[in-house]
């Protein structure tokens, strides 16, 4: 596997990142479709054996149990010095005041809680999961800088927000001589390309790595529009992201996959991987073949005509996933 630099940093990440939202106690948190620990561990091991070194989780995934499961599996199957462990902060972790958001208090509490659950003394990438309108961004970036200086994370990144917000945060940190953001984890796939307008050009200009989430549109790009799975039936957030008009794009993916004789997931992922602004997509795997397909997609190069066909049915969307 050819490892890639995360934006302008010297950090090498694998060209595929394992999304650990798939792993978690289905009875904790709002994702009843997740794989429990016994079902998750073989997939984490398979990914490591395939050369994938980079794993993305969040404090909020399955109420912390994703971090617990992933931490134990990475300790058992991986080599810490090679692994890149990314987690996130912002979501609600407890009722009452200071249970969510990006205040100094929340960030300093939550990094310690994530490290405890992951069973490591540092993460490699600590990401703000969303923008917090209730906390001055200056407070957030100073707290993140302190997390870096305390050795609890190597780098800081951000996730879905407006381009103006990310630009403001980035330049405020730079002007103050504080740690700047090295990555943007955002929603980007064939069904939602709105990030091409502002965020992707901004990241290219800043030299920030781009780590798209839901590159397969949460599975929609991998099967006929009307087919449902255990996840699609209970993925409440996922239900808000796509719409009937996207069906024509799913049909194009199916047609090209048929012509090529490969699974649809490979075609949809190859399209994301072909964008030079993209550093590494964060894939969601719930079966072994999902990892195999993702690895195979690294070697699938679509032609210009195939790109044009995949992109021709796209219609502008309302911003989604913020």
Ligand X SMILES: NC(=O)c1ccc[n+]([C@@H]2O[C@H](COP(=O)([O-])OP(=O)(O)OC[C@H]3O[C@@H](n4cnc5c(N)ncnc54)[C@H](OP(=O)(O)O)[C@@H]3O)[C@@H](O)[C@H]2O)c1
Binding residues for ligand X, rule: CB under 6 A, are 19-22, 56, 129, 159-160, 185, 213-219, 222, 229, 231-232, 263, 265, 282-286, 289-290, 293
Q: How far is the CB of 17 from ligand X (least distance, A)?
A: 8
Cα–Cα distance, 283 to 291 (Å, whole number): 8
Q: Where are the beta strands (DSSP E) in 79-161?
A: 84-89, 123-128, 153-159
Count of C-beta atoms within a 10 Å radius of residue 62: 27
Whether the Cβ atoms of residue 54 and residue 279 lie closer than 8 Å to each other = no
Quote the least distance from Cβ 101 to ligand X, whole Å. Answer: 15
CA angle (157, 161, 162) in 5-degree steps: 125
Beta carbon nearer to ligand X, 64 or 263: 263
Is residue 273 exposed (0-12), middle (13-18) or buried (19+ Cβ within 10 Å)?
Answer: buried
Q: How far is the CB of 231 from ligand X (least distance, A)?
A: 3
Active site (annotated) includes residue 61: yes
Considering Cα of 86, then 151, then 50, then 9, what sign does the dihedral take?
Answer: positive
In the complex, the smallest distance separating the C-beta of residue 41 from ligand X, rounded to whole angstroms, is 16
- If the CB atoms of residues 103 and 159 are measured against ligand X, the closer one turns out to be 159
Compute and round to an integer the Cα radius of gyration of the chain: 19
| 13 touches 280 (CB < 8 A) | yes
Shortest distance, position 149 Cβ to ligand X, whole Å? 25
Of residues 40 and 180, the one with the C-beta less far from ligand X: 40
Q: Which positions ≥6 away from 248 have C-beta within 8 Å?
A: 313
> Considering 3, 61, 126, 242, which one is annotated as catalytic?
61
Residue 88 to residue 25: CA distance in whole angstroms = 18
Query: Where is 239: in which H helix or E strand?
Result: helix 236-239
70: left (phi over 0), alpha (psi -120 to 50) or beta: alpha
Nearest residue to ligand X by CB is 284
Least separation in angstroms between residue 232's CB and ligand X is: 5
List the beta strands (DSSP E) in 141-268.
153-159, 181-185, 209-210
Cβ proximity to ligand X, 33 vs 77, nearer residue: 33
Q: Say which DSSP state 179 is in.
A: P
Structure-token pair, residue 170: 């980035």
For ligand X, give the closer residue by CB, 29 or 263.
263
Smaller CB distance to ligand X: residue 25 or 293? Answer: 293
How many whole angstroms separate alpha carbon 261 and alpha carbon 280? Answer: 24
Supply the residues annotated as catalytic.
61
């Amino acid at each position: 596997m050819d490892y890639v630099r995360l934006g302008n940093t010297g950090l090498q990440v694998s060209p595929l990142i394992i999304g650990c939202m798939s792993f978690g106690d289905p009875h904790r948190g709002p994702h009843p479709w997740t794989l429990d620990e016994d079902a998750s561990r073989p997939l984490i091991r398979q990914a490591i054996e395939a050369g994938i070194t980079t794993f993305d989780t969040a404090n909020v995934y399955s109420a912390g149990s994703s971090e617990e499961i992933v931490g134990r599996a990475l300790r058992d199957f991986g080599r810490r010095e090679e692994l890149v462990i990314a987690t996130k902060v912002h979501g609600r972790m407890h009722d009452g005041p200071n249970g969510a958001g990006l205040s100094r208090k929340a960030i300093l509490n939550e990094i310690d809680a994530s490290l405890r659950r992951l069973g490591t003394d540092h993460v490699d990438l600590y990401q703000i999961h969303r923008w917090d309108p209730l906390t001055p961004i200056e407070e957030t970036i100073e707290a993140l800088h302190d997390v870096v200086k305390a050795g609890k994370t190597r780098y800081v990144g951000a996730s879905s927000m407006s381009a103006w917000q990310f630009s403001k945060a980035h330049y405020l940190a730079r002007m103050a001589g504080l740690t700047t953001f090295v990555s943007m984890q955002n929603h980007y796939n064939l069904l939602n390309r709105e990030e091409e307008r502002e965020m992707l050009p901004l990241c290219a200009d800043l030299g920030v790595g781009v780590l798209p989430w839901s590159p397969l549109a949460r599975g929609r790009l991998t099967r006929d529009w009307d087919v449902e799975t255990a996840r699609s039936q209970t993925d409440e957030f996922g239900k808000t992201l796509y719409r009937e008009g996207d069906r024509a794009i799913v049909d194009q993916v199916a047609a090209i996959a048929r012509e090529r004789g490969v699974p649809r997931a490979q075609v949809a992922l190859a399209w994301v991987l072909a964008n030079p602004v993209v550093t590494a997509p964060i894939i969601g795997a719930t079966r072994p073949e999902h990892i195999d397909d993702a690895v195979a997609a690294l070697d699938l190069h679509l032609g210009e005509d195939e790109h044009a066909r995949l992109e021709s049915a796209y219609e502008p969307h309302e911003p989604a996933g913020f």
